[in-house]
Structure 1
Amino acid sequence: MTEKLTLNKPLPQRLASLDALRGFDMLWIIGVDELFYELAKVSDNSFFGFMAAQLNHPAWHGFSAYDVIFPLFLFIAGVATPYSTGKQLENGVEKQKLLLRVIKRGLLLVLLGVIYNNGLNLMPVEKIRFASVLGRIGLAWMFANIIYLYAGKKAQIGWFAGFLIGYWLLLKFNAAPGYRK
């Protein structure tokens, strides 16, 4: 006898284009670039050579397609915020409860980044590498969600403008190590 599966609650609505973009970005994060490196080695095809070159971080003075993978992931996390955190607010979850979830998740990503960089080895604090891509994602996502939770639309625009101007000022008035201003 077969039973029919019934759903008591409707499936969550998802933004398919965001899911597709996330999947595309994840392909590069998990290492599809290695495929192009290997194809460039064994093939005379200039496309594979071009793609392999695009999938390396160039010297400080350059920019390649590989350099947009991390910012794209942050963009995706930001775009998803109204769909995830916003939906929970609409469903009546208290801001305080959401804040604790956001902080836990953000700090967990920082911790996972530290473990990824250092393993589970005990070592002096000064030898631990704290900075990581996972940590940056965790902190950026955490602060963006805190701003989303507690700032109104005008304040969010203010934060956005402040970050852009602040970042521009840092780039304008600070040189990379070994480069002149």
Structure 2
Amino acid sequence: MFQRLRHYADAILSALPSNRLLAIDAFRGLTITAMILVNNPGSWAFIYAPLKHADWHGWTPTDLIFPFFVFIVGVSIMLSVSVQHEHGKPRQAIVKHGAKRMVKLILLGWFLALFYYNFRDPSFHWFTDRLMEMRIPGVLQRLGVVYFATLLIVLYGPKRHYLSWAIGLCLLYSMLLLWLPYSDANGVRYQGELLPGNNLAAWLDHLVFGAKHLYADSQPFASDPEGLLSTLPAISSCLTGVIAAQYLQSKAALGQKVVAMAGCGLILIVLAELLSTVMPINKPLWTPSYVLLSTGFALFILAIFLWLIDSLHYRRWTAPFVVFGANAIAFFMFAGVMARIFSLIPIGDRSVQSLLYRDLLQPLFGNYNGSLAYALLFLCMSYLVMHWMYKKGWFWKV
């Protein structure tokens, strides 16, 4: 059996170009795998603490997943732009392609928001109850906007200023969040609040999108973790990936890169904890301390991957993550669609998800382990589909 697994892993890895940065592919695959795992428990009532988001201030490992993906997008932008420049592709053509990609990501996000139907409620009307109340922001929507904004900075900004852009956007966001006053519908004036539903980011999203089109119906303002204002520091997170890619492209020795990235990552984590006494670590607000923390962990993990894969040559373990990472957006869309189908399609008075969890996994493993078992089962099912696409050579490039 182990021999077959080794042959399987070798077959996947041998198909990769020799100049491919396997550490990036493995990190991308691990990140999207973790994202799907935490998004699909058997029951939202039974989730182990590390597999759910912090309630507000603070963080869990789950809070690091999305910024890891944003960081990797930044790495990919820098590597891709470098290759396109080498092939003489005009800057305008790169921008045009990037704009199309942003629009596609936004449309895919809206598709997932609209892919819903309540079969159990005879009064449910998709047009009025779903389309007219569709959540406008979202994960893919933010990814698209952040990707395109970062691409423009990379194409039109001097390389030596990328760090300045990242710091400047975080400073601008902090000043707006803490110093710009705002008022609710009753004329009550606020400034510098960092509470759920009461902060400048929530006020702006409520004003622009309206309460019905946001994630949380909080008070005094509806709010969204992927809202407008917090996109500014998310761009900073993406730019840190760009800067990391610049260093990876340098002529420094592998060992030097590993030590420098790991050391820098640990320093950023410490700085994040120090800054959190002034600006709390908060994912929904994507605070600057959160940018430092997530970037620090991303750099440290990437350094570990470089050490394991390129220095110690432990490569076979990356094969499943390469498969997942090669079709990351397709994986995300497939998981989103299938999760909704499993929870929506009625089988008697149950859904597919309910049958699997409550009638099979929960009795076997208990509440929490059964919920985790469902997530792992969903992940295995997804892997079969992604592996089939990988073998066919079907790579969905948005």
TM-score in same-fold range (> 0.5): yes
**What is the number of residues matched between the two proteins?**
160
Per-residue CA distance 1:66-122 (angstroms, 9 max, x = gap): 001100000011012121122111211111111010000011101110110123865
Q: Supply the AA of the counterpart residue of 1:175.
A: L
Q: Is the aligned partner of 1:153 residue 2:149?
A: no
Matches of 1:90 and 1:166 in 2, distance apart?
A: 34
The equivalences for 1:93-112 within 5 A come to 93-112=89-108
Contact 2:38 2:51 in 1 (8 A): no
SS in 1 for 2:20: coil
Q: Which has the higher contact order (CA 8 A, sep 6+)?
A: 2
- Aligned mate of 2:114, from 108, 115, 118: 118
Tell me the residue number matched to 1:67. 63
Q: Supply the AA of the counterpart residue of 1:176.
A: L
Tell me the residue number matched to 2:254. none
Tell me the residue number matched to 1:5. none
Tell me the residue number matched to 1:30. 36
Tell me the residue number matched to 2:195. 176
Q: Percent identity?
A: 31
Q: Supply the AA of the counterpart residue of 1:103.
A: A
The equivalences for 1:1-12 within 5 A come to 11=17
SS in 2 for 1:60: coil
Q: Is the aligned partner of 1:13 residue 2:13?
A: no
Matches of 2:112 and 2:39 in 1, distance apart?
A: 20
Could you tell which deviates more after superposition, 119-128 or 73-82? 119-128
Contact 2:51 2:62 in 1 (8 A): yes
Gap runs ≥5 in structure 2? 1-16, 117-125, 179-191, 201-398
Could you tell which deviates more after superposition, 127-136 or 153-162? 153-162
Matches of 2:154 and 2:57 in 1, distance apart?
A: 35
Q: Supply the AA of the counterpart residue of 2:68.
A: L
Per-residue CA distance 1:123-168 (angstroms, 9 max, x = gap): 6975232111011111101110111111112443332121121233
- Aligned mate of 1:82, from 78, 81, 91: 78
Q: Supply the AA of the counterpart residue of 1:106.
A: M
Tell me the residue number matched to 1:139. 145
Would the alpha carbon gap of residues 96 and 129 (structure 1) be closer, same or farther in structure 2, given more than 3 Å must change? Answer: same
Deviation at 1:179, TM superposition (A): 6.3
Q: Is the aligned partner of 1:167 residue 2:197?
A: no
Would the alpha carbon gap of residues 64 and 107 (structure 1) be closer, same or farther in structure 2, given more than 3 Å must change? Answer: same
Matches of 1:175 and 1:149 in 2, distance apart?
A: 34
Gap runs ≥5 in structure 1? 1-10, 42-48
- Tell me the TM-score normalized by structure 2: 0.36
- Aligned mate of 2:134, from 128, 135, 139: 128
